[in-house]
Copies of this chain bind each other. A is one copy, B any other.
Amino acid sequence: MVQPETQSDLQPDFNKGNGLLPVITQEYGTNEVLMLAYMNKESFEETLKSGKATYFSRSREKLWKKGETSGNMQSIKEIRIDCDNDTILIKVEQAGGAACHLGYKSCFFRKTDNNGLLKIVEKRIFDPKEVYK
């Protein structure tokens, strides 16, 4: 994994988002977008150090190591940053095959059909009731 002490060039501008930047999480290999969450400086550094995606939960207002409850951790394979240094993109290996707390691989499991109505287009991987007790 990347080492934080060598991150001389990777400097997300956390000031731009009042301390929080959006993070796009893609599945390594397929490039499927699994989720979008937020990181502050502390969670970003914890992600670099641990090699596991660690976000900042806006609702709980604290660090959130993805998978700490479900066991479905995300191992970092690649880190990118956008041209403005205010969006982070990570590519991960998703343990358990599902990132969404509703049991789907991706949080984006619904898409609009030709009539503009939302349809579920993925199969559920796990039952949330069994995972979050």
**Contacts from A to B (Cβ < 8 Å):** 2-4, 6-10, 22, 24, 26, 30-33, 35-36, 48, 78-84, 87, 89, 100-102, 104, 107-112, 114-118
In the complex, are the beta carbons of B116 and A10 less than 8 A apart?
yes
Smallest CB separation, A77 vs chain B (Å): 10
Smallest CB separation, A34 vs chain B (Å): 10
In the complex, are the beta carbons of A83 and B101 less than 8 A apart?
yes
Chain A residues touching B, majority SS = loop
In the complex, are the beta carbons of B36 and A22 less than 8 A apart?
yes
Contact of A117 among B9, B24, B84 (CB under 8 A): B9
Smallest CB separation, A87 vs chain B (Å): 4
Chain B residues with Cβ below 8 Å from A109 are: 83
30 contacts between A and B (CB under 8 A): A2-B114, A2-B115, A2-B116, A3-B115, A3-B116, A6-B115, A7-B117, A10-B112, A22-B36, A24-B33, A26-B33, A30-B31, A31-B32, A31-B33, A33-B33, A33-B89, A36-B82, A48-B116, A78-B111, A80-B108, A80-B111, A81-B108, A82-B107, A82-B108, A83-B101, A83-B102, A83-B104, A83-B107, A83-B109, A84-B107
Please name 16 further chain A to chain B contacts, defined as beta carbons within 8 Å, in addition to the given A24-B24, A24-B36, A30-B31, sorted by A numbering. A2-B114, A3-B115, A7-B112, A9-B116, A22-B22, A22-B36, A31-B32, A48-B116, A78-B111, A79-B112, A80-B108, A81-B108, A81-B118, A84-B107, A87-B107, A89-B108
